[in-house]
Structure 1
Amino acid sequence: MEAIPSDNKAMTAPDGGFNFLTPEAWKALLSGYSHIVLVANSEAVDLERLRSELPETALYVFFNKVYKVLDEPFVGHSMLVARSDVMGAHIVHRREAADVLRFFGGDEFLGVVNIRVSVEENLSEESRFEGAKARHLDLTQMLADLYPIGKIATSGFAVALWLADLQLPGKVLLAGFSAKRSEKWKVFDVHDWTFEQIFLRLFARMGSISMMGGVDASPYSALAKRFPEVPPIEIAMTAAEVLSERLDNTNSQIDRLMSITKFIRAVDNFFRRFKPKTRKQRFLEKSKG
């Protein structure tokens, strides 16, 4: 597979399909906003509270399936991040672009930013985004030596790091980045949620970004205030000791459940062999052939 240019120079492919900007151009585009708010597709997002507490100069960055957090068209400064996989932007090859982009419009909509974070992912041409202005962003080099091997970064994590590196004058605010499974929306095992939460919270404590909840609500901050004479490393080691014991206990219960459900999983695996192949699986087989 031919690699997509990743030097972020302002350029257009010969067919006019891709629109890359330099870091300087991105900074010029985003520096006019007092806040850059990354809105996760999570039930933890309180968009009404955000809109009431932040000024009108805030830019709200949404991701992929925005109908998870929006019930009506968004009025205000906004931008949509469209993540890619091997077949291109998710919302394009899944034919969801029109359904997603109906939530945005007008002069306050900056358009779509189609991103990729690994070399297996491919970008989609600007013409595939239902007439919306589209820019392209390749973050593979930024994450190559950073993210745990065998896992793929989430779009929110990648964009948060990229914005922090741009060193914008406005504040970068993360909303709903809890990494918690909910009754309605699941989290995917392909991402290293633990690594991302540790990284983002350290970034927040350094002041590079801000998080709604998470850092300020940490119970361990209360421990540090209650025991000011105890070094932070001792508190961390004690917390790690307790968590390790609880994890061992949890693993014992998981092993028991795996044993009990062995027959059920065997039946499930048998019937999965008869499940029709997805469009992505057919695409991969065709590309290999």
Structure 2
Amino acid sequence: MEAIPSDTQTMAAPDSGFNFLTPEAWKALLSHYSHVVLVANSEAVDFKRLRSELPETALYVFFNNVYKVLDEPFAGHAVLFARSGVMGANIVHRREAADVLRFFAGDDFLGVVNIRVSPEENFSEEGRFEGAETRHLDLTKMLVDLYPVGKIATSGFAVALWLAELQLPGKILLAGFSAKRSEKWKVFDVHDWTFEQIFLRLFARMGTISMMGGVDASPYAAIARRFPQVPPIEIAMTAAEVLSERLHNANSQIDRLMSVTKSIRAIEGFFRRFKPKTRKQRFLEKSKE
């Protein structure tokens, strides 16, 4: 699959299979909504609260495998952001497009936005998304000098940053962006969750975005209110000191666990060699030939 150049300023040729919009066109498309709500695939999402507090003019942005947060077709303005991988959009090459898109229908569904955030990711053509209207968005240039080296941005973080830069008239709200692993869904180590949370919470404190259950729920805000005579830098340094000590203690326990489980990990590594290769692994090996 041929890599697509990182250039969100230009439009793809009509017969190329890719549909890019200029920033001005994106802004015009999204300016009709009073709120743009980014819904994380997290158990922390409170849909009942969202639908009761927000007007019908809100646009809900979903990501990839929406069955993690939806159990029935979504009624309301919605758009699906489908993340790409080396083999194209993940929901396409995993043959999940039909299962995901069944949650959306009607005129209120804005369609699919196939995004990529790193150079090794590749788009899927418009026709691969079960007939849904599809647009493409390349965010690699926006993140190349921003995101920590060796890590890949989450779709939610990349889209939140992109929306903030569009300077839409409506409000941007993040729902369920907790970066916490739950009993049901895991978080992936390829992302820098700490960096993203710091960035998004600073955005929230600046008023650029809002975080439901995020910055407003911080227990450290209560400390600042309790000690108004203490400069914020002193509170931050004290918090960093405590966190550093706790992290050191946690690392000591992790080292002990690594030692105790050494034999178990050796056995697991031995049997992993017999595990069949995934479609992605076979694709990568073939592309190197």
- TM-score tier (shorter): over 0.9
Residue 9 of structure 2: SS of its match in structure 1?
coil
Residue 122 of structure 1: SS of its match in structure 2?
coil
Percent of pairs with identical residues: 86
Query: TM-score of the superposition, structure 1-length normalised?
Result: 0.98
Question: Residue type of the partner of 1:71?
Answer: D
Q: CA RMSD in A?
A: 1.0
The whole-number CA distance in structure 2 between the counterparts of 1:94 and 1:110 is: 23
Residue 113 of structure 2: SS of its match in structure 1?
strand
Q: Which runs of 5+ in 2 are unaligned?
A: none
Q: Which residue is equivalent to 1:166?
A: 166
Shift of 1:8: 1.6
Q: Which residue is equivalent to 1:238?
A: 238
The whole-number CA distance in structure 1 between the counterparts of 2:193 and 2:4 is: 27
Q: Which residue is equivalent to 2:110?
A: 110
Q: Which runs of 4+ in 1 moved over 3 A?
A: 13-16
Q: Which residue is equivalent to 1:63?
A: 63
Q: Which residue is equivalent to 2:200?
A: 200
Q: Which residue is equivalent to 1:120?
A: 120
The whole-number CA distance in structure 2 between the counterparts of 1:185 and 1:215 is: 22
The whole-number CA distance in structure 2 between the counterparts of 1:43 and 1:203 is: 23
Q: Which residue is equivalent to 2:176?
A: 176
The whole-number CA distance in structure 2 between the counterparts of 1:260 and 1:9 is: 54
1:24 aligns with 2:24: yes
Q: Which residue is equivalent to 1:275?
A: 275
1:190 aligns with 2:187: no
The whole-number CA distance in structure 2 between the counterparts of 1:100 and 1:108 is: 16
Residue 244 of structure 1: SS of its match in structure 2?
helix
Structure 1, residues 162-183: CA drift from partner, whole Å, max 9, x if none?
0000000000000000000000
Q: Which runs of 5+ in 1 are unaligned?
A: none
Structure 1, residues 189-229: CA drift from partner, whole Å, max 9, x if none?
00000000000000000111100012011111000000000
- Number of residue pairs matched? 289
Structure 1, residues 38-91: CA drift from partner, whole Å, max 9, x if none?
000000001111011100000000000000000100010000000001000000
The whole-number CA distance in structure 1 between the counterparts of 2:202 and 2:271 is: 45
Q: Which residue is equivalent to 1:262?
A: 262
Shift of 1:13: 3.5
Question: Residue type of the partner of 2:271?
Answer: F
The whole-number CA distance in structure 1 between the counterparts of 2:109 and 2:2 is: 32
